[in-house]
Every structure is written in structure tokens, then in C-alpha cells.
Amino acid sequence: MIEEIKNPLELSIILINETKSKEEKTNYTFFNKEKIFYIKKEKKSLLGRKTKNQINSNDNTHTKKKRDNIITKIKRNIYNHSLELINLLLKESKNNKIKGIELKKIDNSFIMVYKKEENLNLLNLTIKEILSSKISTKCINLTKDYNKDKISFILKQNDKYINEILNKTFREMLNIYCDNNVENNIFKDFKRLNDDILFFKNKNEDSNYIELYKTIANEFEKVINDIFPRRKRKKI
């Protein structure tokens, strides 16, 4: 690129080469009798081909991110479906003391965990323990212990079916979620893996994503255990 500089100084040719770093511009200044031309030469950035290690690193990062996102999605779906089922049973309850009670969504911090121990601990928690966590901040004008207080009251009413679901562990709900044999029992309205797969297909979700989601859901605990395998102790 050439820029015209006015007010010439003298008849001479001066070459100035300033290179502070590889990425800086090289400057050449030429003076003549009437006009001064300032020529800027820009060096191309060093791009080059990505090495095999760089490509593999990017692929691994992408795969890990997709896997972590799917694990989170599975946990969120099971939680949402469990909450929907309980609220449905509360709505249809013949006990006027609990009929109409609606449990609220809780803070999602229990879902957004990525360590092996935290995920395994989640599997052992009961639905009542999970839903008794502080409710979402989106639920304004309600105390953070709203669900905890309601669940305590519901359990005292001894509704056989609702109490059974509240006492199920997250692992047990996961197993029901992956079971395609829907029986005519209290879990008949509980959305399953096939329901979510159908939802993904209707949303034109990528087929590879759907297959990976299905695989991780069916092998959830194994996948969690394989993420951070135990380190072998060094022999002394």
C-alpha cells in the first residue's frame, strides 16, 4: 500500500527496515525531490497446515464436549420427567390435602456436575432428596425450601404411589427411563428414552447425536466410571 506524504525533505533515498517481531510490518520510506512515498509491506501470518497432534487434540476436545453435554442432557431429562410425573399424580390425587400441590423446578447445580464422584453420588440420591433442594431463583415469591416443605407434608399423607416415586433413586429412574417395556402402572406416564429419541428426530437432530445419546443413556454408569478411571498406584 502506498501513501503520499507531503512536504519533501531532500533528494535522497532512505531505506528504513523496522522489524520488532515476526508479526510486525516492514516499513520502507523513499524520498524524492517532489514527493515522498511511504510503502508498507505486510508479512503474511504463519498459518500452515495443522499437525496431526493438533487435529487429534481438537477432535478429542469436541468429542469430550459432546459427551459431557449429552450426559447433562440425560440427567436433565430424567429429572424433568420425574418432576412432571409427580406433579401429574398430585394433580389427579383423590386426597384433597395434597391435590393441587405443584412442586417447582430446583436449582440446576446438581445437574451441572462433571466429576465422577459427583455423578455417582447423584445416582444414589432419591428423587425426594433431589427435589428437596433449594428451588430455582426463577420461582419468585417462594422460599428456597418450598419443595422441601411440600415433600415433607406429602410423605406424611402416605400416598402409596407418590411416595413410591419419591423414594426411588435416580439410578432406578434411569433404569425405568431406558426400559422400553411400558407397563400400565404408575410409571405409564413417565417419558422414556424412546420418547426423547422421537422428539430429537422431529427436531431434525443429527443422527450421530441421537445414537450417541442412546448409547450413553443405556450405559450411563459405565460411561461415568470410564471417564475418570482409577489411577494405578506406583509400585515402591
**What DSSP letter does each residue of 20-73 carry, written as one string?**
SSTTSPEEEEEE-SS-EEEEEEPPPP---PPPHHHHHHHHHHHHHHHHHHHHHH
- Residue 233 placed within a domain: no
> In the predicted model, what is the mean pLDDT of residues 61-66?
62
Three-state DSSP at 135 gives strand
181-232 pLDDT tens trace: 887 689 999 999 999 999 999 999 999 999 999 999 999 999 999 876 555 5
Would you say residue 128 lies in a domain? yes
Q: What is the pLDDT of residue 65?
A: 60
Q: Given a cut of 60, is residue 234 above it in pLDDT?
A: no
pTM: 0.70
Name the domain count of the chain.
2
Q: Are residues 24 and 98 in the same domain?
A: no
60 vs 94, residue with greater confidence: 94
CA distances to 8, 18, 42, 115, 204 from 31, rounded to whole Å, are 7, 17, 20, 66, 65
Regarding whether 122 and 9 lie in a shared domain, the answer is no
* pLDDT tens figures, 66-113: 888 999 999 999 999 999 999 999 999 999 999 989 999 998 887 888
| Domain annotation covers residue 133 | yes
- For residue 50, pLDDT over 60 is answered with no
Residue 61 has a pLDDT of: 54
* Rounded mean pLDDT, 25-54: 49
- State which residues form the domain around 97: 65-227
**50 occurs within a structural domain:** no
Checking if the pLDDT of 38 tops 90, the result is: no
Helices (runs of H) and strands (runs of E) counted in the chain: 9, 3
Tens-place pLDDT, residues 7-19 = 444 434 444 444 4
**47 located within any domain:** no
Give the pLDDT confidence of 136-194 residue by residue, as tens digits: 888 888 899 999 999 999 999 999 999 999 999 999 999 999 998 887 689 999 999 99
Task: Note whether 90 and 139 are same-domain residues.
Answer: yes
Please indicate, yes or no, whether residues 33 and 140 belong to a single structural domain of this protein. no
CB 107 within 8 A of CB 133: yes
pLDDT value, residue 2: 45
- Give the pLDDT of residue 136: 87
Question: What pLDDT sits at residue 48?
Answer: 54
The pLDDT value recorded for residue 233 is 55
More confident residue, 185 or 58: 185
**How many Å separate Cα 171 from the centre of its chain?**
20
Any domain includes 160? yes
**Rounded distance between C-alpha atoms, residue 215 and residue 223, angstroms:** 9
Statement to judge: residues 98 and 33 lie in one domain:
no
